[in-house]
Chains A and B, each alone.
Chain A
Amino acid sequence: KAGVTQTPRYLIKTRGQQVTLSCSPISGHRSVSWYQQTPGQGLQFLFEYFSETQRNKGNFPGRFSGRQFSNSRSEMNVSTLELGDSALYLCASSSEFEETQYFGPGTRLLVL
């Protein structure tokens, strides 16, 4: 089975811009989670989607949003980028029958 894929892998944006990141889960996985990883805050949970419904959301401002499509692919959007949004954004998928999450390689976002 192919693993979780994330695109793009690297991204440079400037303050005030918006960005959309994409995640394709492992075939058959209907749950997709997003995490932000920074040196200062570590791994922080953003949100989780299952069958196009957001089931949980982390403590992030409304500038961070996401969605999931009927084929389980997911996107996350960050509007009005700030310098502090520079981070590695990780997507993970899981089956409804297990707790293990399978992570993609991440998208490294740099905001200038």
Chain B
Amino acid sequence: SQQGEEDPQALSIQEGENATMNCSYKTSINNLQWYRQNSGRGLVHLILIRSNEREKHSGRLRVTLDTSKKSSSLLITASRAADTASYFCATDADDYKLSFGAGTTVTVRA
């Protein structure tokens, strides 16, 4: 079973617009990570936010974490065609194991 659930499942936006996706999880965590996957290839780590952090930025990425609601959001600002990918949240629900959500597929239209 998956620890995290992303919402929406799919998102289509125009180049230059912002993309927001959400992740909800079930159990207590030490940290939450976001990964990107391009077209069935390996995952690329984007950002990690610890349970005692509320917001984190990295370039055009902004991640928030609300442990009381067991949810996180990923915002990509000023999207580009290269941002077209699937995005996954992952939690360390168990020792030495990441549990991934189902992912949000983002399509950026030129």
Cβ of B59 within 8 Å of any chain A Cβ, yes or no, is no
Docked-complex contact A58 and B92, CB < 8 angstroms: no
Cβ of A22 within 8 Å of any chain B Cβ, yes or no, is no
- Minimal beta-carbon separation of B66 from chain A (angstroms): 20
Cβ of A25 within 8 Å of any chain B Cβ, yes or no, is no
Docked-complex contact B95 and A55, CB < 8 angstroms: yes
Interface range for A: 20 to 34
Q: Which of B33, B35, B45, B97 contacts A45 (CB 8 A)?
A: B97
Docked-complex contact A103 and B48, CB < 8 angstroms: no
Q: Which of A43, A105, A106 contacts B100 (CB 8 A)?
A: A43
Docked-complex contact B48 and A100, CB < 8 angstroms: yes
- Minimal beta-carbon separation of B51 from chain A (angstroms): 12
Docked-complex contact A99 and B31, CB < 8 angstroms: yes
For the complex, what is the distance from the CA of A88 to the CA of B41, rounded to whole Å?
9
Q: Which of B33, B94, B95, B103 contacts A42 (CB 8 A)?
A: B103
Docked-complex contact B42 and A99, CB < 8 angstroms: no
For the complex, what is the distance from the CA of A33 to the CA of B31, rounded to whole Å?
18
Cβ of A101 within 8 Å of any chain B Cβ, yes or no, is yes
Q: Which of A42, A50, A99 contacts B92 (CB 8 A)?
A: A99
**Contact residues of B: prevailing secondary structure:** strand
* Residue in B closest to A48 when the chains form the complex, CB atoms: B96
Q: Which of B42, B100, B103 contacts A104 (CB 8 A)?
A: B42
Docked-complex contact A56 and B100, CB < 8 angstroms: no
- Minimal beta-carbon separation of A56 from chain B (angstroms): 4
Cβ of A81 within 8 Å of any chain B Cβ, yes or no, is no
Question: Can you list 30 contacts pairing A with B, beta carbon distance less than 8 Å?
Answer: A4-B42, A33-B96, A35-B100, A42-B2, A42-B103, A43-B88, A43-B103, A45-B99, A55-B96, A56-B97, A58-B97, A88-B40, A90-B42, A90-B43, A92-B43, A99-B30, A99-B33, A99-B48, A99-B92, A100-B33, A101-B43, A101-B45, A103-B35, A103-B43, A103-B45, A104-B42, A105-B41, A106-B40, A106-B41, A108-B40
Residues of B within 8 A of A (CB): 2, 30-31, 33, 35, 40-45, 48, 88, 92, 94-103
